[in-house]
Structure 1
Amino acid sequence: MGLDPASLRIDQRLLYFMDQLEILEEKRQKFNALIEEGWFNISKARYSMGNKQVSALQYASEMDPHVYVTTSLSENGVVEFQCERTENKEELNESDIVENIGPTEGGLRRRVNVKQKETEDESTCKGQQQKDPQANTKTEKPKCQHQDPLKWFGILVPQNLKQAQTAFKEVITLSAEISTLQNAILATRMELQSEMKEKQRSSLN
């Protein structure tokens, strides 16, 4: 005698729930191992460079995040977390810039004598200097560009510090995956509980 469809659905849901828990345990173990590896490499770098050379004192005065965490809803209504890195966005934006060569204004242009244009430019520059003598002394503040945090600790950093950075980068991505999986497990557990309640009600009737 075969099982009823409700029992089959519950068994399949329970097996899926157990698989999710097993994957979550594996990811958590990897997460903890990467954190231990990262801190162990930082301690090695401090031993080789000196305790004061690898600390919060070397942090930049202005820092911009290289990773943003975004959220989205899946088809089942589960919140998913994704990590977006901005380290390569600036390079892409710079490569997309195209210089416009040629006249920007349409129509014919009147030719101006070169000597006459030079004298006009000199007169306009002198007039601006007389109006604002401090214009040439002021310099614009450069925009804060994304910088590799390893450069805060020097140009030639030990290999242990690079390995620590790689480990912590993977930790960030893995933490987003663990958060998404935890939300999926909670949703699966709620569905499993509702299906078991429905089966109990049908058996009582």
Structure 2
Amino acid sequence: MSDLNKICNVLDKLTLDALTLIEEEVQMKLNIENAMCGGEMHLAKSRYILGQNSVSSLQLPTENSPHFEATVTVHSEKDELIGEKTRYLEVVKREDQIDPVRWFGYLVPQDLYHAQTMFRQALQWVIRATNLQMQLIETCGTIEQLKELKRKLSIH
């Protein structure tokens, strides 16, 4: 099998991989959209139950609020062997940490907790979609390099 045939076979495989990654990324984006819409719906229900001013941006921390730290942080790792970055979520648990739902009171409707769960799920899907996008960019870069190599081999 010649080098040109080998490159064509690898290009075919990488193109199929790219299409699979595109499909997975589209599915992740649909999942994100559904989770965000569901979370927003639960927020609207909570706002209806508690009243217009009970669930609003007025309850969110401002610059003058006491300091608080995020409950979830995003980290990235670079694989030295492949050169690929992956991102993951780290959930931080501390004893003194207050659940952000408590910013809206102590007797809040279950819909507020459901909204929180849906937004957290959306965040996980955003990270997965980002990782898929990075894989897709790397795969497309490899495809372009192989196409250039194929052109050079075809000329000779």
Q: TM-score, normalised on structure 2?
A: 0.89
SS in 2 for 1:4: helix
- Counterpart of 2:92, as a letter, is T
Larger-gyration structure (1/2):
1
- 1:117-176 Cα deviation digits (max 9, x unpaired): xxxxxxxxxxxxxxxxxxxxxxxxxxxx21111112122211111110001111112111
Partner of 1:164: 115
Which residue of the partner structure matches residue 127 of structure 1?
none
Q: Does 1:185 align with 2:136?
A: yes
Would you say 1:9 and 2:10 are equivalent positions?
yes
> Aligned partners of 1:183 and 1:23: how far apart in 2?
12
Select the residue among 116, 124, 128 that pairs with 1:173.
124
In structure 2, distance between residues paired with 1:81 and 1:152: 29
Matched, 1:81 2:32: no
State how 1:1-205 maps to structure 2 within 5 Å: 4-60=5-61, 61-62=65-66, 63-74=68-79, 75-87=81-93, 90=94, 145-205=96-156
In structure 2, how many angstroms separate the alpha carbons of the residues matched to 1:184 and 1:64? 31
Q: Which amino acid in 2 is paired with 1:24?
A: E
Scaled by the length of structure 1, the TM-score of the pair is 0.69
Determine the C-alpha separation between the residues in 2 that align with 1:154 and 1:48. 13
Q: Distance in 2 between matches of 1:36 and 1:161?
A: 14
1:31 is displaced (CA, Å) by: 0.5
| Superposed displacement of residue 71, structure 1 | 1.0
RMSD: 1.8
Q: Distance in 2 between matches of 1:4 and 1:12?
A: 12
Q: Could you list the runs of 4 or more consecutive aligned residues of structure 1 that deviate by over 3 angstroms after TM superposition?
A: none
Q: Tell me how many residue pairs correspond in the alignment.
A: 150
- Runs of 5+ consecutive residues of structure 2 not aligned to the other structure: none
